A and B are shown apart, each in its own frame.
Chain A
Amino acid sequence: MLPDGHLKKLTNPWVSKYVEPIFEQRWHLFAPEPLTFSARLVMKCMSSEDWIDPTQDILKRNSTFPFVHLQKSIFLFNSISAAIIKLRSDFLEETRCSQFGLSECEKKFKLWIKKEDAYIKAQNLGYHVCRSRPHQLAIYIEHAKAFNSEYTIPNKGVELLELD
């Protein structure tokens, strides 16, 4: 809860270890900026070249009858893709590898992400969807439409981040 200052640096290692699990406070509540895109985990199963989006069905059902468990399912699916996107932006920032070329950087990221929990979760989910190990995983990003041209959220449409 402390601001990023010297006191936090001094106390953080041992305070956070004991305090954070119980007293974690993260009141972002759509702030400072709300999300402006939806990210969905999509996969190709062994026998097919088509991308499968397991959230489609849930999203459709949720839009008809928004039951709590459907909404929670969307959170569940989204948390994996959101975590991978966060890891990706952190990776690109920390390694600063983009200076060696973006494709090289992406290759490094694809290798690195495989050790991360979020990727293993994605694989687990892929396994459940495909009933076998998924052939390929990717994050499908759909950007929200801009309010109007005065407000500058670039309307990028859709993107695909391949993980394999």
Chain B
Amino acid sequence: MDKFFKEVKDLDFRIHIFTSLTSLWIILNFIFQIPLYESLWGSTENLILSRQVYGRELPFYLDLLTLYPSITPFVFFSTLVLALYFLLGRRNLLLRFMLWYFVWLLDAKAWTVQDGGNNLMHLSLFYAILMDVPIKWGESTKLIKGFAVRAIQAQILIVYFCAFISKMAGSLWQNGTALHYIVQIDKFYSSLLIDLFATFPLIVNILTYSTIIAQLLLFTLLPIARWRLIPLALGVLIHIGIAFHIGLIMFSLVMIFNYSIFLTKDDLFFAKERLKLLSKKIIMGIISLIILFIVVLLAISPNKLRSDYLPPEDLKNLQSSLKTDSKVLIYHFAMKEKNNLAEIIQANKITQVDPRDLSNIQIEYGSITKLITAIKVLELEKKGLLSRDDKIIIKDGSRLTLNELLFHRSGLIDRPYDDKVKELKNLYDISHNKGYLYSNINYVLVGNHIHQLSKNKENFEINKLKDSSLIKASKRPLRNEIFDSAFGIIGNIHELEERIKKIDLNKLPCTKEGSCWGGYLKEGTFFSVGKMASGTSLIGINQDGTFTILSSNDYSLALDRIYAKIKF
């Protein structure tokens, strides 16, 4: 046991490297904390509240800053000076103690525990006090210094051991999705990784499991001298990744700098030799791969970023390019910009509202109503209550199938639905079943048919449509009940979103171009439902010149479609 502490290889070399790197870390950390000084240790004079809340409660004999709060700035800058003293290679037992005490005290009394890196640094610096015992202590000097080195090494192993064991107990680590959640959290937000994971979900699993395996390797292989360089290189790579992708730069530096306690002169020499042995070609290959990786990441990134945020300016342009008096309602949660506000645009005036208030806003479902009608038809057909081949006889004696009506293949004229429709002599714009022609009347007829069926059959399922919140929520004065089946519903936006989420577009009779229930009409009215790889978007522009633009989960898609329609 004695030997274990006394005969630490390259003891002074390790102490020197470790001390220099940790001192450098302290300097960097405190420089970065200067802009936050007021927030972390701010004085009571700046606050109107009677009680200043400091960090943790400490035993009174350690709690210098509570006894004398005014010396906080002195302690702060002394820490910087002390770290500089050690970085320059000077050594002193008392100053080493003071360095630990100041770093620890400032962190303990700050408003918040910053991250795991600070915690490890306190412990390492505490053991490191023993690194500066005077030589005159003779034999025991080496023993004590050796003990300090071993203690820091053990501490690093404890970190990885605990992290590994507790990760093994977590269900999200077990199913390999933990990183997917971490990168979405404010503190560790990474737009790049979110995009990467969305595009290649397998990478989430690979990176999550790699993290666990790396931690296992770190605490198992680090104590073995022969294998030491492998986990160290792995650890450095992982922490560089953590630093750049989830922003834990100081934490990563603590870990990497603390690894130096494992390094011997031989290790450094070995690593140097190995690097020399690697041919230039391999190095070039690695560099090319890295460049390729970055290019791929950058290529994914811009498209994805665009989907997350639409600047209000664009909305203004969009507004003017359509109709100056039109109403546009846009509902979105722009995750990337954290701009959790819904924007309501009415007559060129943009109002931002709290998303919670959206539940009080009634919007026109517009032609999305058609989807709900169509789904109802499919449901009823599944239950054997009707068939899409059922024929409807209209005024002029023509027979139209439900399917033709649903697919807008009846050839029936389209015009704003009003009583005059009934007086029209020629109901057809194109010949029956000769092509696609969007018409609200198609859906009015479908709705009428369902309505008639429900009247004829008791306990008919369609009653659910009637008593649903859809019709109750409607504010539009109904000329008759069937009006709702084409575009008449007005309702709560969240309710609509819930409905949209449930829609399986694959099951709906869509046209080939992917636009399900849409079309373009002379009056500039269109409605489009599109399903694309990245999500489902819904756009509705109503007959009366008002627009309803909705996107269930991909805002940019909705916008793209609007632009596409304008060009068209």
Residues 152 to 189 of chain B near chain A (Cβ within 8 Å) = 158-159, 162-163, 166-173, 175, 177-178, 180-182, 184-187, 189
Residues 292 to 337 of chain B near chain A (Cβ within 8 Å) = 333, 335-337
A10 interface residue (CB < 8 Å to B)? no
CB distance from B89 to the nearest CB of A (A): 26
CB neighbours (8 Å) of B34 from chain A are 69
CB neighbours (8 Å) of B48 from chain A are 127, 133
Question: Are B185 and A38 in contact (CB-based, < 8 A)?
Answer: yes
Question: Are B180 and A147 in contact (CB-based, < 8 A)?
Answer: yes
- Chain A: CB-nearest residue to B245: A66
Question: Are B187 and A22 in contact (CB-based, < 8 A)?
Answer: no
CB distance from A87 to the nearest CB of B (A): 14
Once A74-B187, A76-B36 are accepted as A-B contacts, the answer to whether A124 and B249 lie under 8 Å apart by CB is no
B416 interface residue (CB < 8 Å to A)? no
In the bound complex, CA of A22 to CA of B337 (Å): 40
Excluding A31-B170, A121-B53, 13 further A-B contacts by CB distance (< 8 Å) are A21-B56, A22-B126, A30-B178, A30-B182, A34-B185, A36-B172, A71-B247, A71-B249, A73-B36, A75-B114, A76-B112, A79-B113, A124-B49
B463 interface residue (CB < 8 Å to A)? no
Chain A count of residues within 8 A CB distance of the other chain:
60
In the bound complex, CA of A160 to CA of B359 (Å): 14
- Chain B: CB-nearest residue to A17: B59
- Chain B: CB-nearest residue to A66: B247
In the bound complex, CA of A62 to CA of B249 (Å): 13
CB neighbours (8 Å) of B173 from chain A are 31-34
Once A120-B49, A151-B177 are accepted as A-B contacts, the answer to whether A24 and B119 lie under 8 Å apart by CB is yes
A29 interface residue (CB < 8 Å to B)? yes
CB distance from A134 to the nearest CB of B (A): 11
Once A32-B166, A56-B338, A147-B204 are accepted as A-B contacts, the answer to whether A22 and B122 lie under 8 Å apart by CB is yes
In the bound complex, CA of A128 to CA of B49 (Å): 11
**6 A–B contacts, CB within 8 A, in A order:** A21-B59, A25-B119, A30-B182, A34-B170, A56-B339, A158-B333
CB distance from A21 to the nearest CB of B (A): 5
A144 interface residue (CB < 8 Å to B)? yes
Interface residues of B (CB under 8 A from A): 28, 32-36, 39-40, 46-49, 51-53, 56, 58-59, 62, 104, 108, 111-116, 119, 122-123, 126, 158-159, 162-163, 166-173, 175, 177-178, 180-182, 184-187, 189, 191, 201, 204, 247-250, 333, 335-340, 354-356
In the bound complex, CA of A163 to CA of B126 (Å): 40
CB distance from A84 to the nearest CB of B (A): 13
CB distance from B22 to the nearest CB of A (A): 17
CB neighbours (8 Å) of B119 from chain A are 24-26
Residues 57 to 73 of chain A near chain B (Cβ within 8 Å) = 59-60, 62-63, 66-69, 71-73
Interface residues of A (CB under 8 A from B): 17-18, 21-38, 40, 50-51, 55-56, 59-60, 62-63, 66-69, 71-76, 78-80, 117, 120-121, 123-124, 127-128, 133, 140, 142, 144-145, 147-148, 151, 153, 158, 160
Question: Are B104 and A22 in contact (CB-based, < 8 A)?
Answer: yes
CB neighbours (8 Å) of A55 from chain B are 186, 338
Once A29-B163, A59-B338, A158-B340 are accepted as A-B contacts, the answer to whether A35 and B182 lie under 8 Å apart by CB is yes
CB distance from A124 to the nearest CB of B (A): 5
In the bound complex, CA of A56 to CA of B189 (Å): 13
B35, B163, B186: which contacts A40 (Cβ < 8 A)? B186
CB distance from B168 to the nearest CB of A (A): 8
CB distance from A63 to the nearest CB of B (A): 6
CB neighbours (8 Å) of A62 from chain B are 189, 247
CB neighbours (8 Å) of A29 from chain B are 116, 159, 162-163, 166-167
Question: Are A75 and B338 in contact (CB-based, < 8 A)?
Answer: no
Question: Are A78 and B171 in contact (CB-based, < 8 A)?
Answer: no
Once A31-B173, A124-B47 are accepted as A-B contacts, the answer to whether A59 and B184 lie under 8 Å apart by CB is no
In the bound complex, CA of A158 to CA of B248 (Å): 26
Question: Are B354 and A50 in contact (CB-based, < 8 A)?
Answer: yes
Question: Are B49 and A127 in contact (CB-based, < 8 A)?
Answer: yes
Question: Are B39 and A68 in contact (CB-based, < 8 A)?
Answer: no
In the bound complex, CA of A117 to CA of B175 (Å): 37
Question: Are B177 and A30 in contact (CB-based, < 8 A)?
Answer: no
In the bound complex, CA of A59 to CA of B188 (Å): 10
In the bound complex, CA of A22 to CA of B100 (Å): 10
CB neighbours (8 Å) of B28 from chain A are 68
B40, B104, B162, B180: which contacts A76 (Cβ < 8 A)? B40
Highest count of chain A CB atoms <10 Å: which of B46, B162, B247? B247
B47, B49, B163, B356: which contacts A31 (Cβ < 8 A)? B163
In the bound complex, CA of A10 to CA of B420 (Å): 89
Question: Are B189 and A63 in contact (CB-based, < 8 A)?
Answer: yes
CB neighbours (8 Å) of A128 from chain B are 46
Question: Are B184 and A145 in contact (CB-based, < 8 A)?
Answer: yes
CB neighbours (8 Å) of B180 from chain A are 144, 147
Question: Are A76 and B163 in contact (CB-based, < 8 A)?
Answer: no
Question: Are A36 and B181 in contact (CB-based, < 8 A)?
Answer: yes
